Amino acid sequence: MNKNYIALAVMGLAVLQAGNGFAAGKDGVAATVNGKTISVDDIKAAYETNPTVKEKASFDEFYTRTLDIFVDGEVVYQAAVDAKVTDTPEYQTQLKALKEELARKIYLEKEVRAKVTDSAVRKLYNDYKNSFKGEKEIKAKHILVDSEDKAKEVIARLSEEGNFDKLAKEYSEEPAELGYFTKDMMVPEFSEAAFKLKKGQYTKQPVKTKFGYHVIMVEDIRDAKPQPLKQVERQLRAMLAQKTMGDIIKGLQDKATIVKYDADGEEIKE
């Protein structure tokens, strides 16, 4: 049965919490369909080859959720064989394409895995740290409203009551907390106003952007620092894998003899 089909089916289920159970079936047999055995190992193999699923569910949970999917898949497969689908030109054509795609996938995964090592990721992280340019970042919150008059009303009440969070709950059209950000992370009008404020200050005039009218308060100001490896490792690994895959393909192209033709049958000169 197609493992991708199983993975998609499981990923469409509710998010599961990992556990420690282990399904054993009956003497290693998960089910039989017209005498054909579906083994626990078959289901285990589908589980082991899907890291995303493994993060969300224990094997026991995966087994329980997907047993019927495996059974349904086997029922349909047997019906397809009985209908001699495997003898059709359509089947043979798609089978050839799937085999080629699977070979490409396994080859690239193996090559990338060999090159995207912990040390390679660490080197990329060190490059990131060494090239990091420190700049100011602020922690702010805002109250977003749909009119200038309403924003002025918020500012007037803020000057009297001084309770930003209370007014945010009453007026703001979106969550007030924005966390830390650098100047280029916000729309220009917002950043221009926010970065003029000192810690604890708020804008005394409404700030208009394409989102509406803002009242902004700065909670903290600090120098931006490189993020720790733990926080960016997954992103760096993905970036490195993408670059590595491109390099592998480029290297194969350079070694190959390739002749291409346009739609009119004329050779394309590189």
What pLDDT digit, counting tens, does each position of 227-269 carry? 899 989 999 999 999 999 999 999 999 999 999 999 999 999 8
pLDDT of residue 24: 63
Instruction: List, for residues 120-142, the tens digit of each pLDDT value.
Output: 999 999 999 998 887 899 999 99
Mean pLDDT value of segment 188-212: 96
pLDDT of residue 23: 56
DSSP state of 147: S
pLDDT of residue 224: 85
**Does 13 score more than 50 pLDDT?**
no
Mean pLDDT value of segment 92-102: 97
Per DSSP, the residues of 151-211 read HHHHHHHHHHH--HHHHHHHH-SS-SEEEEEEGGGS-HHHHHHHTTPPTT-B-SS-EEETT
Helix (H, G, I), strand (E, B) or coil at 105: helix
Query: Are 91 and 85 spatial neighbours (Cβ–Cβ below 8 Å)?
Result: yes
In degrees, rounded to 5, the angle at the alpha carbon of residue 224 between the alpha carbons of residues 214 and 135 is 80
Tell which residue, 155, 133, 142, has the closest CA to residue 193: 142
**Phi, psi values for residue 127, rounded to 5°:** -60, -40
Going from the C-alpha of 184 to that of each of 176, 195, 215, 225, 226, the distances in angstroms are: 19, 11, 19, 15, 16
Mean pLDDT value of segment 72-94: 96
Q: Would you state the structure tokens that stand for residue 37, as one six-digit string? A: 């055995």
Cα–Cα dist 38/26, whole Å: 11
What are the domain boundaries of the chain?
Answer: 3-87, 94-132+227-270, 136-223
Q: Which CATH class is domain 136-223?
A: alpha beta
Cα–Cα dist 58/202, whole Å: 49
3-state helix, strand, coil in the chain (%, to 5): 55, 15, 30
Longest CA pairwise span in the chain (Å): 82
Place of tokens 């469409």: 12
Helix (H) or strand (E) holding 217: strand 212-223
Q: How many CA atoms lie within 13 A of 107 on its CB side?
A: 9
Mean pLDDT value of segment 53-82: 93
Give the amino acid at 154.
V
Chain mean pLDDT for the chain = 89
Give the amino acid at 31.
A
Mean pLDDT value of segment 174-194: 94
Q: What percent of the chain has pLDDT over 90?
A: 79
